[in-house]
Amino acid sequence: MDLDNIGKLRKTHYAAEIVPTLDNKDVVLMGWAREIRLLGNLVFVVLADRSGDCQVTFLPKTKKVFETAQKLNREDVIAIKGKIKKSEKTTRGVEVLASEILVLNKSKTPLPLEITEKTPSDLDTRLNSRVLDLRKPRNIAVFKIRNQILESAREYFTEQGFMEIESPKIIASASEGGAALFPVSYYGKEAFLRQSPQLYKELMTACFERVFEIGHVFRAEPSDTIHHLSEVTQMDIEMGFATEEDTWEILEGLINRIYSDISKKQKDALGVLGQKIKVPKMPFKKMTYDDAVNLLNKKGTKFKWGDDTSREQEKLLTDHSGGPVIVHDYPMEMKPFYIAHHENNPKLSYGFDLLIDGIEICSGGRRIHEAEQYIENLKAKGLNPDSFADIIKFYEYGMPPHAGWAIGVDRLTMLISGVDNIRETVLFPRDLKRLNP
Amino acid sequence: MDLDNIGKLRKTHYAAEIVPTLDNKDVVLMGWAREIRLLGNLVFVVLADRSGDCQVTFLPKTKKVFETAQKLNREDVIAIKGKIKKSEKTTRGVEVLASEILVLNKSKTPLPLEITEKTPSDLDTRLNSRVLDLRKPRNIAVFKIRNQILESAREYFTEQGFMEIESPKIIASASEGGAALFPVSYYGKEAFLRQSPQLYKELMTACFERVFEIGHVFRAEPSDTIHHLSEVTQMDIEMGFATEEDTWEILEGLINRIYSDISKKQKDALGVLGQKIKVPKMPFKKMTYDDAVNLLNKKGTKFKWGDDTSREQEKLLTDHSGGPVIVHDYPMEMKPFYIAHHENNPKLSYGFDLLIDGIEICSGGRRIHEAEQYIENLKAKGLNPDSFADIIKFYEYGMPPHAGWAIGVDRLTMLISGVDNIRETVLFPRDLKRLNP
């Protein structure tokens, strides 16, 4: 293919930066020919890039340039040199009169996906052509919100004295028991992909005290729902010399910070998505599991102690609280082995969940820090302490009291950006059926 | 075991914050009983936490407290309440007179590892007891430097308009060819752990234009050296509408920023490690591969065109340049299929490496962006384009010219913190022989 070379030419502006106040300025734009219209003696090209788009107008007097523009396919990669002109005929009140054009890459036709969304595609088609799908302003907005969540979280954790850790993704044995693990062949040995950094982040409180980790975890659960993925981004904290109540303060501060930063710094993204968000007030409402059971029964839903709440019931609880609610003192039988028993009632635990808008966003608790109890709890859950020998040994040499929690980043992105399916929040989702692209 | 409960008590200070100017202040410290000395009628405990340590003195008049202190084991987890006193007898000119003590967890004795480093342990022993090993100030310093690298990089990339991406770690086929992949069983299908985000980050230039990714990559290379790990943290960028020279500017800016931030913000960590670092001047020296070959031969090392440089030769090149050096225009045969051919000489490529202090820290280049050439290059490297069908299709619908690079975070940490073995830079290293803890 005979393509133009970018040479010394560089983008001077993003498309969205072309505004009427820059009238008469010479600019270089680079992006995708999103729409091409031939109208009488003119060629109009909507040049789109990650910032948005801008109309570029080609006049017949620029003969070679004009002829090139006439032959453009949609999504051809182009660079244009031109002059900004105020214009009342365009929606944004401005256009660029092109004097030069480079065709940096050609696009085949027809496109597998309509980027302008004039013809909507189903999610499967969109994910198969994900790179084109991600050129849509709506999708770029979702990832701006996702990135803001991650950026605000890292800033906040660092301010609060947490050290970032990267614990291993390849592990020798199941971290929390259960069969939901992907096996890896590791130099001929059996290994697994971690389903959480749980055991490692707990260990790290025994040296770095306050730690956080943001990274992929892997769930081999064959759940084909709009809320489940096999490769999930999880945000974890763990605090030494702390109880679950200390972690609530961090959790409330973090959620408040994320919502507040997004409402201030991601106005455009929220606008594109048509989302309005309310920064939740601190402190959040607290409710024991027992009180939640009573409340749900009073509200007329039949709910047995020891049951897990359904989505509808979680919605009832957050609606009743008028905002995020931390449900705590869950039955021990509902929580994993590393959660500490409640000191006043061995049937209860120091485990908790955070619900926002009827969605469980975070799960956490006070942990066991004493080796004998750790082994006892493993046995009580039917797990074999021998498989945890590598972990248990550190509980014998100075494990501090500690507590922590984990937030599902994809779910939080879903909630804040208002998309219906968790797959919308991940660049290249992995699930029961999907391993491509 | 009968342990004390942390109750409402909380740490008021880190050990290193106890200074003579706080004379007479009441404080609560929590940490590990690093050393216990019984001297006459006194008990001296070195209480250590992640910040450093501080002497806590127990007087016999506090009878129960004194008796508890007498019975402490090394690395017991304790909380003490007490009053700060100036003292000329301690190295830091200060001590805390304890009035209360809680024993939050007991430690077994003897310890598997000497944390005070009075008896040095070999690396294998240290990694087996990694959580204890990580209580050493030297190791905490290494991870402060590592975290500063990551923090400075994220800040810098964001300032430069890069969007962070998280591409999948589970992939359907080999990303760069080669056999060095860990197989994963994915719901009964064959999959692999990515060896790099290369192909995905390139795709992302076709929507987000400028992207970076920091994350784990997996190398099933049976290399048992001090420079190789099987789970590696890699820092990647990719820039649309750019050439390799544009990526050099970002690379120089990043390295300069990291060194500058560390020299300003991590003085203590550098001090603990006895490291002095020099912030490299920009722009870095550039040298073609041809010139490097000539230079090496002139310096008396026998070097054939097309050979890879040895560590000694890389040291020669950086010594000659008096700082970091970018070696570019490598032979195409030495570079992967996605690197673009040099326009003036098809035997050469637009691939480059960055060498600092004789270590290859970064590798990158201008990429192919045209589908036909992509397929041709795959074939030339003996790879089957069918295995790349999922990737190639996006090259047919608007892939911009692009360039990028990747930095090994573990290696850079090694270089800046001055440790001898890459395993020192990772919390829980994974290699040919090690999958635990």
Q: Is the domain of B390 the same as that of B248?
A: yes
B87, B149: one domain: no
| Paired tokens of A368 | 């066991």
Measured between CA atoms, how close is A73 to chain B, in angstroms?
10
Query: Is A397 an 8 Å CB contact of chain B?
Result: yes
Q: Does A111 touch chain B (CB under 8 A)?
A: yes
Instruction: Flag the least confident range among A19-23, A92-96, B116-120.
Output: B116-120
- As a whole number of angstroms, the distance between CA B350 and CA A421 comes to 41
- A215 to chain B: which residues are within 8 Å by CB? 215-216
Answer whether residue A156 is part of any domain: yes
Give the CATH number, domain containing residue B32. Answer: 2.40.50.140
The C-alpha of B397 sits at a distance from chain A's nearest C-alpha, in angstroms, of 4
Looking at beta carbons, which residues of chain A come within 8 Å of B167? 427-428
Tell me, yes or no, whether B77 lies in a domain.
Answer: yes
On whether residue A214 sits in a domain, the answer given is yes
Angstrom distance (rounded) from CA A33 to CA A338: 55
* Longest pairwise C-alpha distance within chain A: 86
Q: DSSP letter for B179, please.
A: S
> Is it the case that residue B384 has pLDDT exceeding 80?
yes
A430 to chain B, any CB pair closer than 8 A? The answer is yes
Is B215 within 8 Å of A215 when comparing Cβ atoms?
A: yes
Q: Looking at the domain assignment, is residue B111 inside a domain?
A: no
The string of pLDDT tens digits covering residues A241-259 is 999 999 999 999 999 999 9
Cβ of A216 within 8 Å of Cβ of B166? The answer is yes
Q: Which domain holds residue B257?
A: 137-425
Question: What pLDDT was estimated at residue B222?
Answer: 87
Residues 134-163 of A with CB under 8 A from B: 134-135, 139-140, 143-144, 147, 150-151, 154, 158, 163
B312/B173 same-domain check: yes
Determine whether the interchain pair B397/A75 forms a contact, defined as Cβ–Cβ distance below 8 Å.
yes
What percent of chain A is modeled with pLDDT above 70? 98
CA distance B256 to chain A (A): 22
Tell me whether residues B399 and A151 touch, CB distance under 8 A.
Answer: no
Using CB atoms, which residue from B171, B209, B435 is nearest to A172? B435
Residue A125 lies in a domain: no
Query: Tell me, what's the pLDDT at B179?
Result: 64
Mean of pLDDT over chain B: 95
Chain B residues inside the 8 Å CB shell of A50: 163, 207-209
Contact of A79 with chain B, judged by CB distance below 8 Å, is answered with yes
Shared domain for A93 and A157, answered yes or no, is no
**Percentage of the residues of chain B whose pLDDT score is greater than 90:** 92
Which residues, 6+ apart, have CB-to-CB distance to A366 below 8 Å?
A243, A244, A339, A340, A350, A351, A401, A402, A403
A129 to chain B: which residues are within 8 Å by CB? Answer: 393-394, 397
Q: Taking CA atoms, what residue in B is nearest to A395?
A: B107
Answer yes or no: is pLDDT of A392 > 90: yes
Extract the annotated binding site of A: 176, 219-221, 360, 363, 367, 408-411
Residue A207 in contact with partner chain B when CB distance is under 8 A:
yes
Residues contributing to the annotated binding site of B for ATP: 219-221, 360, 408-411
Pair B252, B302 in one domain? yes
Select the residue of A112, A165, A216 nearest B427 (Cβ to Cβ).
Answer: A165
Residue A353 lies in a domain: yes
| Mean pLDDT confidence for B211-217 | 98
DSSP string, A174-195: -SSSSS---EEEETTEEEEE-S
* DSSP calls for B378-436: HHHTT--GGGGHHHHHHHTB-PPPEEEEEEEHHHHHHHHHT-SSGGGGSSS---SS---
pLDDT score, position B302? 85
Are residues A96 and A216 located together in one domain of the fold? no
Least confident interval from B64-78, B205-219, B308-322, B404-418 = B308-322
**Average pLDDT, stretch B282-307?**
93
**pLDDT band at B34, cuts 50/70/90?**
very high
- Cβ distance B132 to A398 less than 8 Å, yes or no, reads yes
Model confidence at A174: pLDDT above 70? no
- A278 pLDDT band, cuts 50/70/90, is very high
- The alpha carbon of residue A98 is apart from the nearest alpha carbon of chain B, in Å, by 19
Mutate to test the interface with A, among B210, B241, B249, B368 (most CBs of A within 10 A): B241
Count the domains in chain B: 2
Last-in-domain residue among B81, B105, B129:
B105
In the predicted structure, residue A327 carries a pLDDT above the cut 90: yes
Q: Per-residue pLDDT for B405 more than 70? A: yes
Q: Detail the residues of B annotated as belonging to a binding site for Mg(2+).
A: 360, 363
Please report which confidence band the pLDDT of residue B100 belongs to, taking 50, 70 and 90 as the band edges.
very high
Chain B: residue whose CA lies nearest to A132: B207
Amino acid letter for position A273:
L
Residue B55 shares a structural domain with residue B100:
yes
B174 pLDDT above the threshold of 80: no
Nearest Cα residue to A367 out of A198, A212, A233: A198
Do B263 and B376 share a domain, yes or no? Answer: yes
CA distance B408 to B360: 9
Answer whether residue A175 shows pLDDT above 70. no
A158 and A67 within one domain = no
A230: contact with B, CB 8 A cutoff:
yes
A57 and A153 together in one domain:
no
Q: B177 pLDDT band (50/70/90 cuts)?
A: low
The yes-or-no verdict on residue B321 having pLDDT over 70 is: yes
Does pLDDT of B77 surpass 80? Answer: yes
Interface test with B, best of A397, A422, A430, A436 (most B CBs within 10 A): A397
In a domain? residue A124: no
- Compute the distance between CA of residue A80 and CA of residue A100 in angstroms, rounded to an integer: 6
In a domain, A231, yes or no: yes
Q: What is the pLDDT of residues A218-246, one digit of tens each?
A: 999 888 899 999 999 999 999 999 999 99
Q: Tell me, what CATH number does B181's domain have?
A: 3.30.930.10
> How far B435 CA lies from chain A's nearest CA (Å)?
6
- Note whether A204 contacts B: Cβ–Cβ < 8 A: yes
Q: What is the pLDDT of residues A92-150, one digit of tens each?
A: 999 999 999 999 999 999 999 999 888 889 999 999 999 999 999 999 999 999 999 99
Q: What is the ipTM of this complex?
A: 0.97
- How far, CA to CA in Å, does A172 sit from each of A190, B430, B437? 7, 10, 8
3-class SS of residue A26 = strand
> Which residue, B109, B15, B116, B114, is CA-closest to A209?
B15
Average pLDDT score over chain A: 95
- Local confidence band at B301 (pLDDT 50, 70, 90 cut-offs): confident
Which pLDDT does position B329 carry in this prediction? 98
B155 shares its domain with B101: no
> Quick check: A177 pLDDT over 80?
no
DSSP count for chain B of H helices, then E strands: 12, 18
Average pLDDT for residues A65-83, to the nearest whole number? Answer: 97
Give the residue on B whose Cα is nearest the Cα of A184. Answer: B184
Q: Kindly state the DSSP code that residue A153 receives in the 8-state scheme.
A: H
The C-alpha of A86 sits at a distance from chain B's nearest C-alpha, in angstroms, of 27
Give the mean pLDDT of A28-38: 97
Q: Is the pLDDT of residue B175 over 80?
A: no
Among A82, A105, A128, the domain boundary falls at A105
The pLDDT assigned to A303 comes to 87
How many A×B Cβ pairs under 8 Å? 262
A288 lies in the same domain as A348: yes
For residues B429 and B437, what is the distance between their CA atoms, to the nearest angstrom? 9
